Amino acid sequence: MQAFRPHQLLFPHHPPPSFILLPTAVTSAVQFPRRRHLRLRILSAATNTPIPSLPDAASAFHDYQLLFSSQPAESIDPLPLLAADGRLPDDFPAGTYYLVGPGMISDGHGSTLSPLDGHGYLRAFRFGGGAGTVTYTARYVETEAAMEEREEGTGKWRFRRPGHFSMLKAHKTAMRPSSLKNVANTTVLSWGGRLFCLWEGGHPYEIEPSTLATVGPADLIGAAERRRWRINVFYILPLSAGLLGMPPKRTLSHYKIDAKRNMLLVLSCDTEDMFLPKSTFIFHEFDSNFELKQKKTFLIPDQLMIHDWAFTDSHYILIGNRIKFSMPGMLSSVTGLEPMISTISLNPSRSTTPIYLLPRSLDKKNRARDWRIPVEAPSQLWTSHVCNAFEEKDVTGNIEIKIQASVCSYQWFNFKKMFGYDWQSEKLDPSFMNVGMKEVPHLVQISIMLNSNGACSWCTIANSSSHWNKPADFPIINPLNSGQSNRFMYASSTTGSRKLLPYFPYDSVIKLDCYTGIVKSWCPGSRSFIGEPMFISKKTTEEEDGYIVVVEVKQYAVFKQRCYLVVLDAKRVGHDDAVIVKMEVPEHLRFPLGFHGLWDGK
């Protein structure tokens, strides 16, 4: 037998077919036959006996794979959760924490997808209020693709459609019309008594809040839209609808809630823009009854990809990720040689980042400024997520706009390798997410000064804190401060303590004081990883008065995993008593990390 070298554990492009070896850098060439190893795993699950930890290189690789392992089981009936540590305070608010993400990426028939293409798995943690019970429910979003690929009755999966980021071993052939799929796996929205799961490339799916049963696709913006007939419609729309399986207009997965005005802000764009050197963005504002109160359309002469965005009292803010249409990628996609995402590529032709300040309100200053001309930020950055933006006006009439975001470099960002997914080997390579600090997502503050006439005087980009030089993403604030000035920001980050996984997966919640730059952190412990934190406000005058909920996935051994929902005191992050309660999800329902969540208070 040929030895399995250490680098293969971190770059598993060609894993051996019949055995697993520990890395020779850690120990001598000790071999574990695959069959015996699988038998050990089964016995361990049955007897609950611990398995000795593998050396660090092997455990790092296996820990990474388990973060995105599939979970076919659902918990349709609410299941009470037991507290593994602590208890909820008597004044804890009633409500539900929803979390969505990819729950099924491997079908057991030889196909493994990118996590971005995994079927949406919605989890609901329902808090009864005070020290009452917390129940857990989990169900798959029954999209058209999910119903086609999941066998009714048995619940077994067999992938029949590729995703935008993946290929299938079952049929690596040319794309056929509507072969791609909406997986509704990115964000959760609760508004006007309705619940939705959103995905970047298609319509949201409406969910019944009490049971998590899928109602069906919902076109939130369709009633307000009318097609603007142009010559390219006859050529581009059939292409985008047939090859990409996407509607003419797509609703972006990230929405915003203006707590000050009690308005829901939704952003959509023309699907055809993926093939054209322009971008059309349509902003919709809905009141609490889902009545459309404002709609604004902006045609930008630049080809951009927007995942997340921001707003202030006066502006919608887009930090432009420049892209371009790739004809070679299109040809490779339609012939089945590469994933459909190859149709577009990054456009690093400029050394700056365009920031579009689009008028939300038509005051004198906004009318004077040409919004089609972006502010060019002095660095080339790819924006991952935007936390908040707000305006500060001085006595002379100048306005400073501050934007808090997580960004990465164009040199690192790669559509086809997100989360380390290799579409050719269908493996997850942890080394992709663990390169240099300046490349992977990190927190920055962008400051733009507009003079009294609305012209840009200057624009700067700086790290959010000089005290924190580690990667971070999923930044959040107290939602009551959205669009307004905030002092505190929370995010997922890393201790950097794992030699082979120094930057990702995240293993810490950080709390950043934007006034002082001081950063405090909470870490759940060794071989524990976290997802996106979520702020639950106590709705007092103190900005940091609230709770942080976050999912923790802990690896006790290579094949032994536990999932917890952790509640932190937002004020006490960085202190020994930060954890209020930790609730354990039953082992048979352990789940992969999600993408984005939502707190829906009663």
- Looking at residue 126, its pLDDT comes to 97
* Whole-number average pLDDT of the chain: 84
Q: In the predicted model, is pLDDT for residue 173 greater than 80?
A: no
The rounded distance, in Å, linking the Cα atoms of 344 and 265 is: 27
Residues 551, 531: contact at Cβ < 8 Å? yes
What pLDDT, on the 0 to 100 scale, is given for residue 581?
Answer: 96
Q: Which of 29-38, 372-381, 394-403, 571-580 has the lowest mean pLDDT?
A: 29-38
Higher pLDDT, 582 or 226: 582
Binding site listing = 307, 385, 596
Contact 323, 346 (CB under 8 A): yes
How far apart are alpha carbons 141 and 180 in whole angstroms?
Answer: 16
Question: How far apart (Å, rounded) are the C-alpha atoms in residues 44 and 249?
Answer: 50
Asked if 386 contacts 405 with a C-beta cutoff of 8 angstroms, the reply is yes
Same domain, 189 and 42: no
Match 């009545």 to its residue by tokens: 291
Do residue 112 and residue 28 come from a single domain? no
> In which band, very low, low, confident or very high, does the pLDDT at 11 lie, cut at 50, 70 and 90?
very low
Number of domains making up the chain: 2
Residue 236 has pLDDT above 70, yes or no: no
Please give the average per-residue pLDDT across 550-564, as a whole number: 81
User: Greater confidence, 465 or 227?
Assistant: 465
Residue 55: predicted pLDDT: 58
Please give the pLDDT value at position 10.
40
Q: Is residue 39 scored above 60 in pLDDT? A: no
Q: Does position 443 have pLDDT exceeding 90, yes or no? A: yes
- 35 plus 71 within the same structural domain: no
- pLDDT digits over 452-472, tens only? 888 999 999 999 988 888 999
- Per-residue confidence (pLDDT) for residue 2, from 0 to 100: 39
CA distances from 451 to 40, 404, 438 (A): 68, 21, 32
Per-residue model confidence as pLDDT tens digits over 354-370:
999 999 986 655 666 78
User: Is 12 a residue whose pLDDT tops 80?
Assistant: no
Q: Do residues 325 and 236 touch, judged by C-beta distance below 8 A?
A: no
Quick: pLDDT tens for 47-73: 333 444 455 777 788 888 888 889 999
Segment 35-51 shows an average pLDDT of 33
**SS3 at position 520:** strand
pLDDT in tens, 502-547: 999 999 999 999 999 999 999 998 889 999 999 999 999 999 999 9
Q: Which domain holds residue 27?
A: 1-49
Where among 34, 49, 64 does a domain terminate?
49
212 plus 309 within the same structural domain: yes
Are 14 and 126 part of one and the same domain? no
pLDDT band at 249 (very low <50, low <70, confident <90, very high): confident
Q: Could you tell me if 54 and 32 lie in one domain?
A: no
Q: Say whether both 63 and 13 belong to one domain.
A: no
Mean pLDDT within 251-256: 96
In this structure, which amino acid lies at residue 361?
Answer: S
Which of 9, 33, 49 is where one domain is finished? 49
Whole-prediction pTM = 0.87
The alpha carbons of the chain give a radius of gyration, in whole angstroms, of 24
Of 29-38, 314-323, 405-414, 468-477, the range with the lowest mean pLDDT is 29-38
- Highest mean pLDDT pick, 46-60, 331-345, 480-494: 480-494
Mean pLDDT check: name the lowest of 11-15, 21-25, 161-165, 272-276.
Answer: 21-25
Asked whether residue 491 carries a pLDDT value surpassing 80, the answer given is: yes
User: Which residues define the annotated binding site for Fe cation?
Assistant: 307, 385, 596
Residue-level pLDDT at 127: 96
Do 481 and 527 belong to one domain? yes
Do 144 and 193 fall into the same domain? yes
- pLDDT value of residue 453: 84
pLDDT for residue 101 is more than 50? yes
Same domain, 59 and 20: no
230 close to 210: Cβ distance less than 8 angstroms: no
Residues 562 and 574 sit within 8 Å (Cβ to Cβ): no
User: Which residue did the predictor score with more confidence, 192 or 555?
Assistant: 192
Contact assessment for residue 519 and residue 510, using Cβ atoms and an 8 Å cutoff: yes
465 and 479 part of one domain: yes
More confident residue, 441 or 436: 441
**Between 164 and 480, the higher pLDDT residue:** 480
More confident residue, 42 or 323: 323
What is the model's pLDDT at position 372? 92
**How do residues 14-27 score in pLDDT, each as one tens digit?**
333 332 333 333 33
Q: Are 44 and 98 in a shared domain?
A: no
Q: What is the DSSP track for 191-248? A: ETTEEEEE-TTS--EEE-TTT--EEEE--TTGGG------TTHHHHHHHHHHHS---S
Q: What is the mean pLDDT of residues 119-123?
A: 98
Triad 248, 251, 256: Cα angle to 5°: 160
Residue 68's pLDDT is 86
Distance in angstroms (rounded) separating the CA atoms of residues 510 and 550: 12
